[in-house]
Each structure stands twice: as structure tokens, then as C-alpha cells.
């Protein structure tokens, strides 16, 4: 049987966040074509010729950083490359998730396969072996300043190539020596420039950015749906989502969100019931969903676009153009992604911030038919009051995490590296914020479903009604107090599993509806 898997050709095809995740998940095959192998071999030979001629080139036959004027003998050029992996393995803290480490290897193979790094073909093949066999190096999360490349984490990532370090393998953390015994492998002898090529680059930052793009997109898509359900529960108006309004301020994100929410509300009996009510406008957390969610979507789109440039770039140093031209430049500097990650971190935080405001709004009891604290019998019961304490705590924590990492720079390498990006910190921090946003959205999902209940027997449109039914399969309506932490855990699971998105896809298919809205290709595909 012929495999139906797509194939990605390293060094040739255009890499996206989605493709990188698909490779990591085993859904897309990897290949080094013969043309790519020729480019890699040619670059490797160029480095050998430089060594033979003895012309000083940074990192090939000189020391590193402030030692760039120290000449290294021809005989010692290979020792230099092994030493750099060991000396730069100074990471600390909890290990990053194996998936992110795997993404780092995928991104690094693609960059090295461009043919400008002097890497050996055998080294690339070994890295691919690690990816294919899920032998994923253990990489500490802290220690990179995001400028000379992600030196410390990349050093840990590639220690196994020389028989050192640890790996995640078959559900356990084991030494590389144990892995080699199991797999019948031996350490590689790195050639001139190889160690430097491996650890110079932005793959730690970029791998975190890949996960930021994936996870934030999910949050954004679900925030729109949960916001629409809250509009129904609190008898909000549909007018702020009319296309006529957003055509007058045509940001892509705003238009996309407004149209999505209008689609979700289509056919609602609840909206029709209060179409002529006396309330002329809603609080901002309902009325301004297109403007706030839309702004966060625009930030996400900016990161996605920049990330794709990064994923398809050469980011090590020096770059080997040809034998006569090697360039010691700054493509390893993480600033382009560092600033975008800080911006996206703020964008994610704001999704959680406005979600907390909608939760608070739902508890006030100012919507006809919806009791204060979303429970009829309060006093003896606290209702949903304390759930908002949790979202307030998470939203506040996120605000503290939003200080831009890229605003800081501490000189390193005895002043040789006198401006750094701190993008590695920005990437880790952005994922922290998104993790908190998932929890906030989970609580809003439960809150919106509770408010939604008080609109019965009136029905919403087919989308929100079916979503509500799906929620109720997992979390029952709360008539009195209970251990709400159990409900929240189920809500978080629904958010992370994208349960409500699956319902939208099912309903669209079953009812032969059209859900595509303006800019869907840009905001739903990564």
C-alpha cells in the first residue's frame, strides 16, 4: 500500500509552523533529496579547503567569542568542535517539553540543509535518525540570552551526537550511552565548523514560537465561540458585529471575528426575543469583542508571518557562501522573533483579560432572567462567585508576565556580544501566558453555559445549541454549590482538546452550512 503521508524536503520546501508540528507528530515524512545532499557536501568541502589553506575564518580555525583572534591549528580544529558542545552545555532549570526539543531538531535540520553551514552529511542523517526514532535530547529550559544563537539549549540538544547528555526514549529519560547500546550507534567525530553550526541559530526561540502560534490560534478561535455564547446568555446585541460597521475600520482581525460571531448567532430565537429591547448598548467586553479579539488576531498574524521567514532562513555563523567569501554576521540574533513574541504575549494576555471581564459581567445579575452569581438560591450557595477569583488571579499573573523580555539586554562574552535579545525568555513566557489563558477560557466556557441555561426554552442557533449540549455531556448545570475545581478541570480539557471547534466542524458538515468568513485562510491556517 502506498503511503498517504505528505513528504517535506529539507532545504528545499517552504516550512511553516503547521508543517513542523506535522513532522514532529509523524504525520509528514522527511526527506533529504539528492540535490540537497549535493549542496550540503559542497559546503562541507569548502570548509575542508579553508582548513587546508590555513586562512583564518571565525569558528573554523579560530576560538569563539572574545577568543576570535586565537588561531587554532589544523590538527585541533576537530577537538575545537567537540569542546564547544561541552563548554556551552550550561543550561539549568526544568527540561523543555520533548515536543519542543523535537521541533528544535526539525528546524535545525532545515536550516543546515540550505547548504551554507559546512555541516557533514552524516551529521544531518544522525539528527534525522533521532527525530524518526523519537530519541529526543533532554534540554534545560534556562540559560539562553537569544543572541549568539540559542547556545546553551542547542548545545544540550546536540550532546548526544558525541555520545554525551541524556535523551527521552520509549517513555524514559536515559543516558545517551544507554541509547547507543540499545540502538547500536557510536558517537560522531565532528569536523571543522560543525559544532559551531549546530549551536549557532535561533531554533530554541523559533520552536517556542511554533507552539505559541499553534496554541494561541486555538485560544483565539475558541474565545470567539465562547464570547458568542456569552452574548446569548446575557442578551447582548448583534448589531456591533454588522459588516457595515467594520467596513469603516477594516482591520483584518476585526472583520474576521465579527463575521464569525455573526455566523454563530445566526438563527437565534434568543436574539430575536430582545431585538427591540430598551438597552441601546452593551458593556465593552461584549460590544468590543471584534476590536479586542481582532487586535490579538492581528498580532498573531504578524508573528506567524515573521516566524515563516525565520523557519526558512540560515541563522548560524559564519555563513559559508563560497571558499572566497565567508561572512561573520549576525543572523543568529533573535531580535526579530523576540519583539514579535513579546507583542504576541500581550495579545494572548488580553484575550484572558477581556474573558475575565465577561465572566464578572455574567455574575452581576443585570441581565433579565439571569440570577446574580448564576444561581437561583444564593446566600446558602456562593454560585459562580469564586470561579471569577481564579480568573482574576490568572489574568493578574499574565499582566506581570507581559513585561517585554526584549526590552532587556545584558552583555555577554566579555563584551563581544554586547546586545542580546532575550527572545528565549520571551518564548517561554508567552507559552506560560497562553497556558493561563486556556484556564481562563475554560472558566468562561462553564460560566457562559450556565448563563445560557437560563434562556431555555428559547433556542440559540444550531452551532451554539449543539456546543451547549456537548458541554453538558461533561459538566452538568449547577443548581447548588459543588467542588467547582472538578468542573474547571473538565473545562480545561475541553479547551485543550478543542471540543467546541470539533462541534462547529461537525455541525457545518452535517447541516451543509458555510462557515468560512473573510480572511479564514490567513487566520485559520498556519
The string of DSSP letters for 395-445 reads HHHHHHHTS-GGG----BGGGTB-----HHHHHHHHHHHHHHHHHHHHHHH
Task: Spell out the residues 6+ positions from residue 53 whose beta carbon is closer than 8 angstroms to its own.
Answer: none
**Residue 276 predicted with pLDDT over 70:** no
Q: Tell me the C-alpha distance between 358 and 363, whole Å.
A: 9
Q: What value does the mean pLDDT take over residues 382-397?
A: 98
- What does the mean pLDDT of the chain come to? 94
Higher per-residue pLDDT: 413 or 29: 29
- Give residue-wise pLDDT tens across range 100-159: 999 999 999 999 999 999 999 999 999 999 999 999 999 999 999 998 889 999 999 999
Asked if the bond preceding 318 is cis, omega within 30° of 0, the reply is yes
Q: What value does the mean pLDDT take over residues 163-188?
A: 97
Question: What is the pLDDT at residue 472?
Answer: 98
Q: With cut-offs at 50, 70 and 90, classify the pLDDT of residue 3.
A: low
**What does DSSP say about strands 172-175 and 136-137: parallel, antiparallel, or unpaired?**
unpaired
Residue 377 carries which DSSP code?
Answer: S
Question: What is the pLDDT at residue 5?
Answer: 87
- Give residue-wise pLDDT tens across range 443-474: 999 999 999 999 999 999 999 999 999 999 99
Q: With cut-offs at 50, 70 and 90, classify the pLDDT of residue 53.
A: confident
58 catalytically annotated: yes
Q: With cut-offs at 50, 70 and 90, classify the pLDDT of residue 278.
A: low
Q: What value does the mean pLDDT take over residues 312-331?
A: 93
Question: What is the pLDDT at residue 51?
Answer: 85
**Residue 1 predicted with pLDDT over 60:** no
Helix (H, G, I), strand (E, B) or coil at 90: coil
Asked if 17 and 307 touch (Cβ cutoff 8 Å), the reply is yes
Question: What is the pLDDT at residue 70?
Answer: 73
The rounded percent of the chain whose pLDDT value lies above 70 is 97
**Residue 7 predicted with pLDDT over 60:** yes
**What does DSSP say about strands 140-142 and 136-137: parallel, antiparallel, or unpaired?**
unpaired
Q: What value does the mean pLDDT take over residues 296-305?
A: 98
**Residue 437 predicted with pLDDT over 60:** yes
Q: With cut-offs at 50, 70 and 90, classify the pLDDT of residue 68.
A: low
Task: Spell out the residues 6+ positions from residue 122 whose beta carbon is closer than 8 angstroms to its own.
Answer: 188
Question: What domains sit in the chain, N to C, each tagged with a CATH number?
Answer: 6-201 (1.10.275.10), 209-318+330-408+429-524 (1.20.200.10)
Amino acid at each position: 500500500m502506498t503511503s498517504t503521508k505528505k513528504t517535506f524536503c529539507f532545504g528545499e520546501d517552504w516550512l511553516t509552523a503547521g508543517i513542523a508540528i506535522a513532522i514532529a507528530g509523524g504525520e509528514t515524512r522527511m526527506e533529504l533529496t539528492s540535490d540537497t545532499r549535493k549542496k550540503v557536501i559542497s559546503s562541507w568541502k569548502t570548509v575542508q579547503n579553508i582548513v587546508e589553506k590555513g586562512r583564518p575564518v571565525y569558528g573554523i580555525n579560530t576560538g569563539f567569542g572574545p577568543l576570535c583572534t586565537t588561531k587554532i591549528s589544523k590538527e585541533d580544529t576537530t577537538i575545537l568542535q567537540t569542546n564547544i558542545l561541552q563548554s556551552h552545555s550550561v543550561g539549568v532549570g526544568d527540561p523543555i517539553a520533548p515536543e519542543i526539543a523535537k521541533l528544535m531538531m526539525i528546524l535545525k535540520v532545515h536550516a543546515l540543509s540550505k547548504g551554507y553551514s559546512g555541516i557533514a552529511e552524516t551529521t544531518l542523517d544522525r539528527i534525522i535518525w533521532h527525530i524518526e526514532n523519537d530519541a529526543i535530547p533532554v534540554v534545560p529550559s534556562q540559560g539562553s540570552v537569544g543572541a549568539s544563537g540559542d547556545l546553551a539549549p542547542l548545545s544540550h540538544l546536540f550532546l548526544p551526537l558525541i555520545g554525551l547528555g541524556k535523551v527521552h526514549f520509549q517513555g524514559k529519560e536515559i543516558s545517551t550511552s544507554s541509547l547507543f547500546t540499545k540502538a547500536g550507534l557510536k558517537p560522531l567525530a565532528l569536523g571543522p565548523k560543525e559544532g559551531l553550526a549546530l549551536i549557532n541559530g535561533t531554533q530554541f526561540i523559533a520552536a517556542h514560537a511554533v507552539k505559541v502560534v499553534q496554541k494561541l490560534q486555538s485560544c483565539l478561535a475558541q474565545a470567539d465561540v465562547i464570547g458568542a455564547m456569552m452574548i446569548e446568555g446575557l442578551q447582548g446585541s448583534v448589531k456591533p458585529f454588522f459588516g457595515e460597521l467594520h467596513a469603516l475600520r477594516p482591520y483584518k482581525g476585526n472583520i474576521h471575528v465579527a463575521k464569525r460571531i455573526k455566523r454563530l448567532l445566526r438563527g437565534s430565537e434568543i436574539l430575536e426575543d430582545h431585538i427591540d429591547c430598551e438597552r441601546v448598548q452593551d458593556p465593552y467586553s461584549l460590544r468590543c469583542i471584534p476590536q479586542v479579539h481582532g487586535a490579538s488576531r492581528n498580532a498573531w498574524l504578524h508573528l506567524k508571518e515573521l516566524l515563516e521567514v525565520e523557519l526558512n532562513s540560515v541563522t548560524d555563523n559564519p555563513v559559508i557562501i563560497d571558499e572566497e567569501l565567508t561572512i561573520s554576521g549576525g543572523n543568529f540574533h533573535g531580535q526579530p522573533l523576540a519583539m514579535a513574541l513579546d507583542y504576541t504575549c500581550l495579545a494572548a494576555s488580553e484575550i484572558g483579560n477581556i474573558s475575565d471581564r465577561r465572566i464578572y459581567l455574567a455574575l452581576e445579575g443585570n441581565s433579565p432572567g439571569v440570577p446574580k452569581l448564576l444561581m437561583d438560591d444564593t446566600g446558602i450557595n456562593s454560585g459562580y462567585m469564586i470561579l471569577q477569583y481564579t480568573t482574576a488571579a490568572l489574568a493578574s499573573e499574565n499582566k506581570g508576565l507581559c513585561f517585554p523580555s526584549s526590552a532587556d539586554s545584558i552583555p555577554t562574552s566579555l563584551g563581544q556580544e554586547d546586545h542580546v535579545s532575550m527572545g528565549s525568555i520571551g518564548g517561554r513566557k508567552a507559552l506560560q501566558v497562553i497556558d493561563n489563558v486556556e484556564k481562563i477560557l475554560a472558566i468562561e466556557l462553564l460560566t457562559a453555559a450556565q448563563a445560557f441555561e437560563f434562556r431555555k426554552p428559547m433556542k440559540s442557533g444550531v452551532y451554539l445549541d449543539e456546543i451547549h449540549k456537548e458541554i453538558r455531556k461533561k459538566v452538568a448545570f449547577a443548581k447548588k454549590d459543588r467542588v467547582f475545581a472538578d468542573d474547571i478541570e473538565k473545562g480545561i480539557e475541553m479547551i485543550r482538546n478543542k471540543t467546541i471547534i470539533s462541534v462547529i466542524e461537525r455541525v457545518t458538515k452535517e447541516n451543509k452550512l458555510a462557515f468560512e468568513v473573510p480572511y479564514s485562510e490567513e487566520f485559520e491556517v498556519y
